[in-house]
Structures are given as structure tokens and as C-alpha cells.
Amino acid sequence: MPDQNDLFQKQVQAGLRIAEAMNATQDRATLLREMLAAIVDTLGYKAASLRMLDPEKGLLELAAAYGLSDEYLKKGGVDLAHSPMDQQAFAGQIVAIRDLQAEPNLQYPQAAEREGLRAVLVVPLRLGQRTVGALRVYTDRPHDFSVEEKAFLAGIANLAARSIANAELYHAFRAIAREVNSTLEVKQVLRKLLVNLIGELNVKGAAVRLLGPRGRRLHLAAAEGLSQTYLDKGEIRIADSPIDRRVLDEKAPVVLYDVASEPGFQYPEAAQREGIRSALAVPLRLHDTIVGVLRVYSAQPHRFTSEEIALVEAVADLGAIALDNARLHETLREKYEAAREDWAGWYRYLSFS
């Protein structure tokens, strides 16, 4: 480990290396590994890992690692409910353990000993007010992490969280756009939108409802991840759904952290039976006209980030455009068929005249 005199210089070098990696790639796996490599190699730690929370399962899934053996990485999953130091990190604390061999509540203590891990610093990855993962930095001997080390690694963790979010949203939008452009069938377009959106946000389900001709009801156009029982719970009348009315009137997203306590959420009992805890509703906008609402549902309490909301809005806009393209395609096809029939009629008339 560098002494206090050159720690700042080492941190600057690591920061510059990380900045270069961020500018060089949009690939998430490559970016994260380069960030960890910069931390370990430049600052003299033994290893580092980065895990992201799967909120639906409560598991910390490995996103990247550097300096750790395959055997150690395969030791088992990290369940947030059974990892006290990660629980503290997700409560917003930076957790420093000077000697892992003296830590009574460590998961997989034998594996850590075999790997030669002696001290660890666990830093939360935060997006806004939400913790989305944890950065772990390991040493091969007992170590007291300094205030400067903690501050630097906290900054790197937040930078990593933002970089991950940006890279994921960039690739997610590109993938969804490619899927949508592959077909003009309305049902296929909407289904692909929802399937990809659910996968990218790791949520329970999603649905698209389109405004009826009189603008009084929202009619189901597509849904994924939701039971037929929930979908058949009842019609959505704008006058009876304050949430949808807000989306349509304000032409802006509405976030519901807890649908059970939200007075404007229609059919709360059905949502509870379905296992829905949080929801995000955004308008489907075509030029300056709102044509429907896209809803995303989470089975866990979920504070949608500004990046996630932006992605859902962009996908909703894609859906509206795709619907319009499909309508235009159908109109052109009908006109073509009519013209062909007219041409055939004239041909027959001229042939027999």
C-alpha cells in the first residue's frame, strides 16, 4: 500500500486511468474491469469486486472482479439478507473490516482465508437516493483504511454506478430500437418493447394501454409479466383513474413508490394480489398528441431513477412511433390493394371492349 505521502498521487493516477476507460468504451463488462484494475494495480490492493443488486431476488450479482480466482468467485451467491456488511453498505455506510479472520459474521470465511483476503472495504454504489450495488476492495494483510481511502473509493463507486447506468441505458435503447424496427406488426412491436423493457429494468411486468376514440377509456393493447386475472380486473376509465389522468393532463411521468398507500391508484387490492409494489406510468406521445399510457410494475419497492424514467419515456415514444408507422403501412397497403383492383378492372374492361 502507498504511504500517506504519495497516496494522493496514486489516487490521481487511478482516476485518470478510470477516466480513460470511460471515454474508450461503452461496454459495461470492459469498463467495470478496467475500473477495478485501476484501483487494484495503482493503489496496491490485492483485489476488488463489484456486485449489483437484483431487487426482485435480493441477491448481489457479480458484475466485475479483478485479482480474485475463479474458485473464490464460484464459492456461492451473496444474499443481501445474510450479509451484514453488505446490509450496512445498503444502509448508506462505508464498512471497513480490518481483519476478516476476526469477523464473526462473515459469509464464506473459509473461502476468504484460502484466497488470502485479510481486510475489506465495502462501499455502496448509489444512484440518487438509491443504493444499487456494492464495491469491495480487499488487501492481503490486516489494514486500517484511512479517511482519504474511503473518500476516494466512495467517489469511484458513485462514478461506477453512474457509468453503469449510462452504459446500460445506451445499450438497452439500441437493442429495443433494433427489435422494434424488425417488424411492422403492431402486436409484435408492442410485445418486443415490453419484453425488452422488463428485462433491462429487471421489473415484474409492463403494459400498454391506448386511448379510445372518445378519450374516455384506456384499452389494453399489450402486456407482459402480468396474470390474466390481473388484466381482467376491470376497465380503465380516465375519470376513475387519477394516476392516468395526471399522466394525460400533465403529459409527464408519474412514479408510485408504494401503490398500496397511493390514493389515486385504481384496483389496489388486485395489485396487492398480483404482487405489485411500485409502478411507473409514462405517456405514449405522438408529436404533441398523447395516444396512450405505458406502465411498468415492480414486485419490490422501487425508486425509479431519472435514468430509468428517461429510458421508459424513450421506449414509450418508440412505441407511439411504431404504432403510427404500422398504421401508415396498413393504410398504404389498403390503398395499394384498392388501386390494384381498380387496375385489374380497367384491364378486363379494355380487354373485352
- H or E stretch at 311: helix 306-352
pLDDT at 168: 63
Task: Assess whether 325 and 210 both reside in one domain.
Answer: yes
- Does a structural domain hold residue 134? yes
Same domain, 191 and 332: yes
Inside any domain, residue 296? yes
Specify the DSSP class assigned to residue 260: G
Q: Quick count: other Cβ atoms within 10 Å of Cβ 162?
A: 17
Q: Supply 65's cell numbers.
A: 472482479
The bridge status of strand 236-237 relative to strand 289-298 is unpaired
Q: Is the pLDDT of residue 128 over 60?
A: yes
pLDDT of residue 5: 58
This model's pTM is above 0.85: no
pLDDT (average), residues 76-90: 90
Q: What is the pLDDT of residue 140?
A: 96
Range of the domain at 310: 182-340
pLDDT of 127 over the 60 cut: yes
C-alpha 277 chain-centroid distance = 16
Q: What is the pLDDT of residue 347?
A: 45
Residues 6+ apart with CB under 8 A from 8: 148
pLDDT value of residue 65 = 95
Asked if pLDDT for residue 13 goes beyond 50, the answer is yes
Share of the chain above pLDDT 90, in %: 39
pLDDT band with cut points at 50, 70 and 90 for residue 332: very low
Nearest residue to 241 (alpha-carbon basis) of 286, 292, 276: 292
Condensed to tens digits (0 to 9), the pLDDT of residues 185-244 reads 677 778 888 888 888 788 999 999 988 888 889 999 899 999 999 999 988 999 889 999
**CB environment 313-323: b (16+ within 10 A), e (fewer):** bbbbbbbbbbb
Residues 123 and 206 in one domain: no
Is the same domain home to 220 and 94?
no
Given a contact cutoff of 8 angstroms between Cβ atoms, the answer to whether 127 and 153 are in contact is no
Of the given ranges (8-12, 132-136, 306-310), which has the lowest mean pLDDT? 8-12
- Residue 321 confidence (pLDDT) above 50: yes
pLDDT at 2: 52
Residue with cell 413508490: 257
Contact criterion met (CB below 8 Å) for 107 and 82:
yes
165-179 pLDDT tens trace: 666 666 666 666 666
Q: Is residue 299 part of a domain?
A: yes
pLDDT band at 336 (very low <50, low <70, confident <90, very high): very low
* Residues 291 and 147 both lie in one domain: no
Q: Do 73 and 206 reside in the same domain of the chain?
A: no
| Domain annotation covers residue 345 | no
Choose among 180, 174, 254: nearest CA to 222.
180
120 pLDDT more than 70: yes
Same domain, 262 and 209: yes
Tell me how far apart the alpha carbons of residues 120 and 35 are, in angstroms, rounded to a whole number. 17
Let me know: does 278 contact 259? Beta carbons within 8 Å.
Answer: yes
The DSSP letter of residue 288 is: T
Number of structural domains the chain divides into: 2
pLDDT tens digits for 131-178? 889 999 999 999 999 988 998 898 888 878 877 766 666 666 666 666
CA distance 290 to 249: 9
Judgement on whether residues 125 and 258 belong to the same structural domain of the protein: no
Crossing angle of helices 4-24 and 147-181, rounded to 10°: 0
Question: Would residue 176 count as lying in a domain?
Answer: no
Query: Same domain, yes or no, for 149 and 24?
Result: yes
Give me the chain's average pLDDT, please.
83
154 & 230 share domain: no
Residues 147 and 186 in one domain: no
pLDDT at 289 over 80: yes
Do residues 245 and 159 both lie within one domain? no
- Quick check: is 348 in a domain? no
Mean local confidence (pLDDT), 85-98:
93
Single-letter amino acid, residue 184:
L
CATH code for position 206: 3.30.450.40
Mean pLDDT, range 88-105, rounded to an integer: 92
CA distances from 342 to 62, 74, 336 (A): 64, 69, 10
- pLDDT score of 276: 95
As a whole number of angstroms, the distance between CA 58 and CA 56 comes to: 6
CA–CA separation, 49 and 134 (whole Å): 8
Residue with cell 431476488: 57
What's the mean pLDDT in 272-283? 94
Quote the CA–CA distance of 89 and 251 in Å, as a whole number: 37
- For 32-72, how does the pLDDT look when each residue is reduced to its tens digit (9 = 90+)? 899 899 999 999 999 999 998 887 788 999 999 999 999 99
Which residues are registered as beta bridge partners of 284? 292
> How many whole angstroms separate alpha carbon 81 and alpha carbon 84?
8
